[in-house]
Structure 1
Amino acid sequence: MAAHFLGFKSIGIEWDRNACETRYAAGLPTIHADVSVMREKRFHEIPKTVDVLAGGPPCQSFSVAGNGAGRRALDNVEKFIHRLVDGEDEAQIDKELHALGDSRTALVLEPLRWLLKAIETEDREPYKVIVLEQVPAVLPLWEVYAKLLRGGEGRLRGVKYEADCWELKTEQFGVPQTRTRAVLVARRPGEGAIEPLETTHRPFDLHRSKRNAVQADTLLTDSEIPETKQRWVSMAEALDAASKPDGSPVDVSRLRTGGGMTFFVVSNYGSGGDPKNRGRRLSSEPAFTVTGKISRNKVYKDIAAYGADRYDRFTIPEAGVLQTFPHNFPWSGNDQAQQVGNAVPPRLGMHVLSRALRGDTPSDEELAAAGTWPSVPRTTTEELRHLGCGDQSQCPPESHKVTRSPRKPAP
């Protein structure tokens, strides 16, 4: 999405069939495959002109919202990273990774394996740019990545990168949602040092009672002077803007009270270690982190409705808007809420890729254009589906199996 809005062509490798359907509908070239299988057996199918590697390995096993297997395994995974670069037997590494208990944890090594594959393939060039994204818990691993990429030792064969990583807060880039992500950017030498991203908006203080004091503290630093940064974007602002284009599927009339939107959202997750302590956000504030369970958040128009338990839900287009997807993005397939929650907010992606690929920030015109998705002919979608799933035997096992309930006997 971000590459498209910045004018760069891309090709995706996606394991989930439903996400593939959305990408086909959006006109985004996609190979429906397991990234590991693609690297091991089908690497030759990736065009040699592809010189940027961007990825977001599954975060569930590292996420605070998950069971934490990945967090507990961080030290072990760091050792595996070094062992891969040192040239140890990959079969043994895979066996030990499997023993960690969550196969998704091992996927954080895939970007490194793709780079090594490119370096060790005779008719390939190393990727010029590498961009990786994950939950904050993975930042220590990105720091290990960055150090190794700067050194170019072992199987890297002297291939070195300028590399840096940061913890970024989405609301500071105009995303109407609080979401923190760890991002790594690496670039071959010759393009200058990688400068940190420039935030465009002020941070949102999660602790309302302390907000005034925190905002006062920001006056002490030049980089956080309110006059030089825009205020974060609220849910009401984002949804209202998305509802205005003709034919928009975002209809917020049900959320209006009088002349404006004054709803509040009750989170699906507990806070402070208490599953019953559901957080609340006002419509005048950014959304909670949009997860695959966004549809379970309860939306109330007023306190009276809360007491009577009369609530609404965010629709898929609305959830997408809170992630900064265009109002008319063609969500397709099943598990659409999960697709929305799994995604990198496109607006954040534009800032990251613009810094990585061009050394600048996206223009106001580019950011404004990202509010609408171009219409894609059905023939284009069908062609992309044929290219991505034409040989279903190469797609992930069982991914095209359709389970139907047994027919009931006729009365």
Structure 2
Amino acid sequence: MTSTVSPKRILDQPFVLDLFAGPGGLDVAGHSLGIPSLGIEWDKSACLTRYAAGLDTLHADVSTVRRDAFESLPPEINVLAGGPPCQTYSVAGKGAGRKALEEVKGFIERLMAGDPEEAIDKELKNLSDPRTALVLEPLRYAIQATRSPNRGRRPYDVIVLEQVPAVKALWDRYAEVLQDIGLPDGTKYKVVVDVLDTETYGVPQTRSRAVLIARREGLGEPALPRATHRAYEAKEWNRRNGGIPTQATLDEANTAEPPSQPAEGGDKPDHWVSMRDVLTERKTPFLVRSNYGSSGIPGRRGVRTDRQPAATVTGRISRFVVFEHLNDDIVYEGPRFSMNEAGMLQSFPPDYPWSGTAKAQQVGNAVPPLFGAHLLSAALGLPSPHPEAMRKPWVPATEEQRAKLRSHGCGAADDCTARCPRPE
């Protein structure tokens, strides 16, 4: 179910708690909508990026904050959001999470029934990959909010979650228990769940995500964001020649896809946004070869022209090979995507201050901000965001602001402290 009616704002002062916040995808989305947020992030480098961007951050483990520091969170937070780590559920991983789906569903039911946290934590340690259990953290935060004296035991008003498509089965179970059973204190929600494609929301990249939007009963029926752009469909030539571009490939590519432009008339969605539309500094037409699948759909991999959206941006974005010059079937390899370009394919602002190490992993793990803005807008009854909102120059934090953010997030203005997560 997607939104077909005029939006109606449901919260006067939304404040987002972003779990597994990464370098700031959902926070950048909130910033574009004028919504404050606090992110909790484990990875040190992602936190450095967040501090440089001026984003309020706790350098901490999500589970540890829930257990030991929940009462220190701002009581005015009323929106719970996040994208739990996807490695164990992703088709690019080993599949520990996918194999444990039924087991994780059982833990959902036990949490809603109010089973002792200590017993559940003990059993979760038996999972083959401990990251699999992180998908339960949003539910555990929702329950904890109803037990928090600092909040007056007030539940979150809105919940917004996203993950890889394989997690839809768990979001469906979330929806069932939130609607039919309710949290242990009796709070129930209205919920919608589906798998959405990011290119249909103006992101210049094909990326499928399982999303959940929930509103506390009494705040109206939630709806998924209305698609603003057409879906991308792979062409047969994308997978010819073993992924080796030729002049013939380029010629066929340039005639197979029209230039990106708005569709004419009424409510018809715009053409999807291409790589060329956002990577304007690249003056020469180019082809990109991806050596792995996109969102588990083999037909989405192979070779793409700059007139198409990028394949799914992951931590391996530096492996994308970019071909710029083709002459008499001789292929020349051009410069690969910079981290700023990779970020732009995720819909981050062009000058976003990527910091620390493993920048490609930060980019690939992030929620595309424009997609996040659509999710938050739909969840909160706000108008759909415009793609240009994410292309405005980003104002980085000053050294003084960065030190203040780090002092709040790490405990010291210039370094991590004992309260920060250890790398292992």
User: Which TM-score bucket, shorter chain as reference?
Assistant: 0.7 to 0.9
Change (3 A) 1:231 1:331: same
In the alignment, is the contact (CA less than 8 A) between 2:321 and 2:333 conserved in 1? no
Contact residue 62 and residue 135 of structure 1 kept, 8 A: yes
2:106 is aligned, of 64, 76, 79, to 79
Q: What residue number does 1:173 align with?
A: 201
Instruction: Return the letter of the residue paired with 2:154.
Output: E
Pick from 391, 398, 404: which aligns with 1:371? 391
Q: Summarize the alignment of residues 109-148 of structure 1 with structure 2, pairs less than 5 Å apart.
A: 109-122=136-149, 123-148=152-177
Find 2:191's aligned residue among 160, 163, 166: 163
Counterparts of 2:85 and 2:322, CA distance in 1: 28
- Against the structure 1 CA distance between its residues 378 and 305, is the aligned structure 2 distance closer, same or farther, given a 3 Å change threshold? farther
Amino acid at match of 1:85: M
What is the DSSP-based 3-state SS (H/G/I as helix, E as strand, rest coil) of the residue aligned with 1:228?
Answer: coil
User: After superposition, what is the alpha-carbon deviation per residue over 1:363-397, rounded to whole angstroms, capped at 9, x for unaligned?
Assistant: 44xx4232121242121111101111116111112
- Counterpart-to-counterpart distance in 2, 1:323 and 1:271: 14
Any stretches of 5+ residues in structure 1 without a counterpart? 211-223, 244-251, 400-411
- Name which of 126, 148, 153 aligns with 1:99: 126
Residues 138/48 of structure 1: CA separation in 2 closer, same or farther (3 Å cut) = same
Aligned residue in 1 for 2:16: none
- Name the counterpart of 1:55: 82
Name the CA distance, whole Å, in 2 between partners of 1:353 and 1:306.
47
Q: Does 1:187 align with 2:215?
A: yes
2:213–2:224 CA contact under 8 A, matched in 1: no
Measured against aligned partners, the alpha-carbon deviations of 1:39-87 in whole angstroms (never above 9, x if no partner) come to 0001111010111110110001100111111111111111111111122
Structure 1 pair 271/398, CA: closer, same or farther in 2 (3 Å)? Answer: closer
Structure 1 residue aligned with 2:384, among 354, 362, 366? 362
Contact 1:294 1:337 in 2 (8 A): yes
Q: 1:226-241, aligned counterparts within 5 Å?
A: 228-240=268-280
- What is the distance in 2 between the residues matched to 1:65 and 1:281? 20
Deviations 1:318-366 (A, max 9, x none): 0000000000111111111110000111000111000111x243244xx
**Structure 2 spans left out of the alignment, 5+ residues:** 1-27, 239-263
Q: Indicate whether 1:382 and 2:382 are aligned.
A: no
3-state DSSP of counterpart to 1:148: helix
Matches of 1:270 and 1:175, distance apart in 2: 18
**Aligned equivalents of 1:151 and 1:121: distance in 2?**
23
Distance in 2, matches of 1:63 and 1:182, equals 12
2:418 is aligned, of 393, 399, 402, to 393
Q: Deviations over 1:154-175 (max 9, x none)?
A: x522101111111110010011
In 2, Cα distance between equivalents of 1:264 and 1:158:
55
Among 44, 53, 72, the residue aligned to 1:26:
53
Distance in 2 separating the partners of 1:81 and 1:129? 19
Letter in 2 for 1:397: R
Using the TM superposition, give the Cα deviation of residue 93 of structure 1 relative to its aligned residue in structure 2, in angstroms.
2.4
Q: Does 1:332 align with 2:359?
A: no
Partner of 2:318: 295
Q: 1:45 to 1:158 in 2, by over 3 A?
A: same
State, as a whole percentage, how many aligned pairs show the same letter: 50
Counterpart amino acid of residue 421 in structure 2: P
Is the CA contact (8 Å cut-off) linking 1:198 and 1:361 kept in structure 2?
Answer: no
Cα deviation 1:292-316 (Å, max 9, x = unaligned): 1101111011445985563431000
Amino acid at match of 1:61: T
CA distances 1:250-275 after superposition (whole Å, capped 9, x unpaired): xx24xx1xxxx2x11111326899x9
Q: Hey, what's the Cα distance between the residues in 1 that align with 2:329 and 2:76?
A: 55
In the alignment, the residues of structure 1 paired with residue 209 and residue 401 of structure 2 have an alpha-carbon distance, to the nearest angstrom, of: 33
How many residue pairs end up in the alignment? 364
Instruction: Tell me which amino acid in the other structure corresponds to 1:52.
Output: V
Which of the numbers 135, 141, 148 marks the counterpart of 1:108? Answer: 135
Residue aligning to 2:15: none
Deviation >4 Å, runs of 4+: 224-227, 270-273, 303-309
CA distance in 2, matches of 1:11, 1:379: 19
TM-score normalised to the size of structure 2? 0.81
Give the Å deviation of 1:189.
Answer: 2.1
CA distance in 2, matches of 1:113, 1:227: 40
Superposed counterparts of 1:36-47, under 5 Å: 36-47=63-74
Normalising to structure 1: TM-score of the pair? 0.83
In structure 1, how many angstroms separate the alpha carbons of the residues matched to 2:74 and 2:328? 55
Distance 2:125 2:85 in 1: 15
Task: Work out whether residues 62 and 68 of structure 1, in 8 Å CA contact, stay in contact via their aligned partners in 2.
Answer: yes
Does the CA contact (< 8 Å) of 1:48 and 1:124 recur in 2?
Answer: no
Determine the C-alpha separation between the residues in 2 that align with 1:141 and 1:226: 37
Bigger mean CA offset, 38-47 vs 85-94:
85-94
Give the conservation status (yes or no) of the 8 Å contact 1:264–1:302.
Answer: no
Structure 2 residue matching 1:93: 3-state secondary structure:
helix
> Could you say if the C-alpha distance between residues 158 and 102 of structure 1 is closer, same or farther in structure 2, counting changes exceeding 3 Å?
same
Superposition RMSD in Å: 2.5
- Paired residue secondary structure (2:146): helix
Distance 1:25 1:317, change over 3 A: same
